[in-house]
Amino acid sequence: MSDVCSAKGCQAPATWELLWNNPKLHTPDRRKVWLACDEHKGSLSDFLGARQFLKDVVPHADAG
Ligand SMILES: [Zn+2]
């Protein structure tokens, strides 16, 4: 089974990984990962970017 997008209610296969860090909760080298489909890559990265949490966006390699 493919990994799915982290956007609420979205069941699309993930094609991107958004790597983020909340400095109030996480040590600086910690990375949380949200998965995103092509459709939600923009909105999810905007959400994280607006809070200055977004560190990197990389293609998701499907382990399946
Ligand atoms: Zn999605």
DSSP string for residues in 22-64 = -TTTS-TT--EEEEE-HHHHHHHHHHHHHTT-EEEEEE-----
> 1 vs 6, which has greater pLDDT?
6
Q: Which residues constitute the domain of residue 58?
A: 1-64
pLDDT of 29 higher than 90: yes
Candidates 59, 64, 54; CA nearest to 35 is: 59
Number of domain units in the chain: 1
Instruction: Please state, in angstroms and rounded to a whole number, the distance separating the CA atoms of residues 34 and 55.
Output: 12
Tell me: pLDDT of 6 over 90. Answer: yes
The alpha carbon of 25 and the centre of ligand 1 are apart by a number of angstroms equal to 25
Question: Cβ distance 23 to 55 under 8 Å?
Answer: no
- Is residue 45 within 8 Å of residue 54, measured between CB atoms? yes
Residue 21 has pLDDT above 60, yes or no: yes
Q: Which residue has the higher pLDDT, 37 or 2?
A: 37
pLDDT at residue 64 is higher than 70: no
> Residues within 5 Å of ion ligand 1 by Cβ?
5, 7, 10, 12, 37, 40
Distance 47 CA to ligand 1 centre (A): 14
